[in-house]
A = this chain, B = another copy of it.
């Protein structure tokens, strides 16, 4: 079902997983596939839905999705991101284009953008505090243009 994807080091994901003493189960494979196919950030529920879509075999347990996501994050294959509402979203780490999130407090909408100033920020924070910023998790909150105009709460 998953067709030999490769990671940053050129090894297949399957190899990477087995090399860490873990197993490539059907469910893990499906989750990997879903993550790879889904565009942006997805919740565990969404991933579970996608995975349960091709309902040829039995539905997988939600807890299995959670456990796998945790494992994959641990392995660095997936990144987790908690936006402003106790909901965690996951994303395939190899997604090439780094992007950032404008999160509107007014309407709740999210927009993904590239922000040059973040490079400067990364450098500054590293120099001043020795802290290595992970831009993939950067949520920029505020008010979108629309919400600033009409205070449409």
Is chain A's binding surface mostly helix, strand, loop or mixed?
mixed
Tell me the minimal C-beta distance from A117 to chain B in angstroms: 4
Which of A18-26, A48-56, A90-98, A133-141 has 4 or more CB atoms under 8 Å from chain B? A133-141
Are B115 and A102 neighbours in the complex by a CB distance under 8 Å?
no
A82 within 8 A of B: yes
A142 within 8 A of B: yes
Taken together as a complex, chains A and B put the C-alpha atoms of A82 and B82 apart, in Å, by 8
Taken together as a complex, chains A and B put the C-alpha atoms of A86 and B140 apart, in Å, by 17
Chain A interfacial positions (CB closer than 8 Å to B): 82-86, 88, 102, 104-105, 111, 113, 115-118, 120-121, 123-125, 128-134, 137-145, 148
